[in-house]
Structure 1
Amino acid sequence: MPPGPPATIRLVTNPPPAPQPVGRATVIVRKQPLEASAEPVPPRPFLKWAGGKGQLLGALLEHVPERIDTYYEPFIGGGALFFALAADPARTPRRAVLNDANHELVTAYEVVRDHVQALVDRLGDLEARYLAGDDEVRAALYYAMRDEAPSEPLEVAARLIFLNKTCYNGLYRVNRHGRFNVPHGRYARPRILDCPALLAASRALQTTDVRDGDFEAACADAGPRDFVYLDPPFHPLSKTASFTSYTKGDFGEADQLRLKWCIDDLTARGVPVMLSNSPHDWVVGAYQASHYEVHRTPARRAINSRADRRGAIDELIVTNEATRKRSA
C-alpha cells in the first residue's frame, strides 16, 4: 500500500501512570515518549526473521548498484539489505517497493511507517506487563497473545513484535491453518520494545510502498535503473531440512520454477536482479544453464526449532548481467 503523509515524531506529555494488574503482579505502565532530541541510530531490522541477511550484508552489497531509482524486495522478511541501504546516504534508493505474502508482517511494516508513536506506547505496555510477571504469568500472557487473532492494524503489529521477541528462538512458523504455533521462549529479560530501532525503521520507511501480495506483481514495474532483490523461502536441500512455513501456503517447487521465470523476464527487460537461495543442485543447474553468475557464500543458520540443525551452510547469490554491469 502507498505511504500516507510522513510520520511526525514528537514529544509526548505523559499522563499520570496508572496501575494495571497482571496475574499476581501489579505494574505501573508509563507511556514511552518519542524523544525528538534523542540521538538517532542507523536503521536496522526491528524483527528477528528466519533467513535474515544481517550476517551476509558484506557479500550482498558487493553486487548492489550504487545508484538505484526504485529498490524492489518482493520477499521483505526482516529487511536487512533494505535497512543497510537506507543507513548509507550515498546508496539510499529514491524509493522502495517492499512486499511479502505474510499479511501480518506487511501490516507491521505499515504500522511502523505510519503509526510508530502508538506502536511504541502499546509495546511499552506489553513489555511492562510481561517483565513484571513470574514465569507462570509470562507464559499465560504469551499464550493469550498467541491465541488472539486481531484485525486492527496496531494490534496486529504489536502482537507480531511481542511474539517475535518472546517466542522460542525468534522463530516464525505457522500451521496449515495459518496459525502461529511457536512455543514460549522463557527468556529472562527480552527487549520487547526497542524504541531506537522502531524510530529508525520508521524514518527509513517513509519513502516506501509496502505491499501484501505475490512476488511477481510486486516487481512487475521494475526498470533498468531500478534493482530487484529476491530472497524467497529457500529450496530445501532435503525433505528433513525443509522449512517454508512462513505463510499458510508453503513455497514449493512450482513456486521456485515460477520465480526463475520471473527473473528471466526481468533480465530480458534489462533489470538488475540479485537472488539468494540454497545451493540445491536444481537451483545451481537452472541458473548456471541460463548464464547467470552463481556465487557461494558461507552463512550460519541461527534460527531453527532444533539446535542440532543450526550451524554453517553455504548460500547462493545469483546475479544477472545487468547487475554485474551496474555494480562494477
Structure 2
Amino acid sequence: MSLTRPFLKWAGGKYRLLDRLLPSLPAGSRLVEPFVGSGAVFLNAAYPAYLLCDLNPDLIGLYETLRREGERFIKRARALFTPENNTREAFLRLRAAFNASTDAEERAVLFLYLNRHAYNGLVRYNARGVYNVPFGRYKAPYFPAAELTAFVRKMRDCDVTFAVQDFRRTFSLLRPGDVVYGDPPYVPASSTANFTTYMGGGFGMAEQRELAQEAEAAVRRGVPVVLSNHDVPLTRDLYASARIESFSVRRFISCNGAQRDEVRELLAVFL
C-alpha cells in the first residue's frame, strides 16, 4: 500500500501505524477526527468527506491557510528554510515573531518553520499560550514541499471541514453515515511518559473517561468509533465495551534514542 506522509512532525503521529489502523476503520460517508494532529489518517483514508478538529488554533489555522493559499503559501514557507535561519539566534527571533503575531498567514508560515526547526518537532505552549519549544539543532531541516502539495491535493479532492473545538463539541455534531477516529493524548505508558499537557490545561482522567463515554453514546446513535491509546489496564477498563486490537509500536518522541523502546498500543473499535 502506497502511503502519503504528513508534512508536520507530530508527537504520537499515526503514519507508521496506518497499516494497522486503516483496515479497522468502518466504511462511511464522512470521517470525523476530534484530534486531527498531523492529518496522517485523513491523508490516507478514502472517505468522501471529512470533519477535522483540534483544540490548537495554530494547527487548524495552518491547514486552512494552506488550503486557501496553496502554492503561494508553500513558496513563502520555503523561503524560511535557509542555512541563515538554522541557527539558535534566528530560531529565537522567529519564535518571538510567531508569539507576537496576530496575522493568520504569518503565524501559519512560522508554525511550519518552528515545527521543522524546534526540538523533536514538539508543539508546546506555556500557561500564557506562548510557544516555548527550544531550538532543535538539526543539520539541515527538511522542507516538505512534496508533502505540502499532497495535502493541498487531498483537500481539493474531497469535502473537508476544519474546526477548532474540543472532542465533546465534535461528538455533538455527529450524523448518520459518520465514522469517528479519535487519537487523543494518551494515558501514560509509564510514570515518565506523559505527553498530555502540550496545549495547556492537560487531558486527564476525567477527559479520558468522557471520551470513552462519548464513544459508547455515538455507537448507540449508530456511529462507529475507533480510538487509539496505550494498551494498559486503565484503557482496557475504559474501553471494556469495545473490540480491542493490541500490538507493539516503537516510541519515537524520546530525546534519548537508546530509550525509544517498544510499547503496547491498542485500537478500541466501538461498533
TM over 0.5: yes
The alpha-carbon distance between structure 1 residues 225 and 191, as it changes in their structure 2 partners (threshold 3 A), is: same
User: Residue 105 of structure 2 aligns with which residue?
Assistant: 154
User: Contact 1:118/1:154 (CA < 8 Å) preserved in 2?
Assistant: no
Question: How big is the shift at 1:308?
Answer: 5.0
Give the secondary-structure state (helix, strand or coil) at the position aligned to 2:105.
helix
Task: Describe how 1:1-328 pairs up with structure 2 within 5 A.
Answer: 43-65=4-26, 67-85=27-45, 92-127=46-81, 130-132=82-84, 138-148=87-97, 149=99, 150-192=101-143, 194-206=144-156, 207-288=159-240, 291-307=241-257, 309-321=259-271
Secondary structure at 1:189 match in 2: coil
Determine which structure has more spread, i.e. the larger CA radius of gyration.
1
Gaps of 5+ in 2: none
Residue aligned with 1:71, SS: strand
Q: Are the counterparts in 2 of residues 106 and 210 from structure 1 also a CA contact under 8 Å? A: yes
- Match of 1:174, SS? coil
In the superposition, relative to structure 1, how do residues 229 and 284 fare at CA in structure 2: closer, same or farther (>3 Å)?
same
Take 1:286 and 1:53, find their aligned partners in 2: how far apart are those partners?
Answer: 21
Structure 2 distance, partners of 1:235, 1:257, is: 11
Segment of structure 1 superposing worse, 175-184 or 270-279: 175-184
Name the CA distance, whole Å, in 2 between partners of 1:309 and 1:275. 26
Q: What is the distance in 2 between the residues matched to 1:60 and 1:320? A: 14
CA shift, 1:301, in A, is 1.2
Q: Once the 2 structures are TM-superposed, how far is the Cα of residue 124 of structure 1 from its aligned partner?
A: 2.0
1:146 to partner: Cα distance: 1.5
Deviations 1:109-155 (A, max 9, x none): 1111111223112212211xx3246x7xx211111111222221111
- For 1:309 and 1:254, how far apart are their aligned partners in 2? 29
**Alpha carbon RMSD of aligned pairs, Å?**
1.9
Whole-angstrom distance in 2 between the partners of 1:68 and 1:115? 30
C-alpha displacement of 1:306: 4.3
Cα displacement (A) at 1:221? 2.8
Deviation of 1:302 (Å): 0.8
The SS at the match of 1:118 is helix
Q: Deviations over 1:175-211 (max 9, x none)?
A: 222222222112121123x222111101212321000
Quote the residue 1:324 is aligned against: none
Question: Could you tell me how far apart the structure 1 residues matched to 2:192 and 2:3 are?
Answer: 38
Contact 2:189 2:263 in 1 (8 A): no
**How many aligned positions are there?**
266
The SS at the match of 1:319 is strand
Alpha-carbon deviation of 1:274?
A: 0.2
The alignment-based identity, stated in percent, is 34
Q: Secondary structure at the match of 1:62?
A: helix
- The alpha-carbon distance between structure 1 residues 251 and 54, as it changes in their structure 2 partners (threshold 3 A), is same
TM value normalised by structure 2: 0.92
Query: Which amino acid in the other structure matches residue 271 of structure 1?
Result: V
Question: Partners in 2 of 1:70 and 1:297 — Cα distance?
Answer: 27
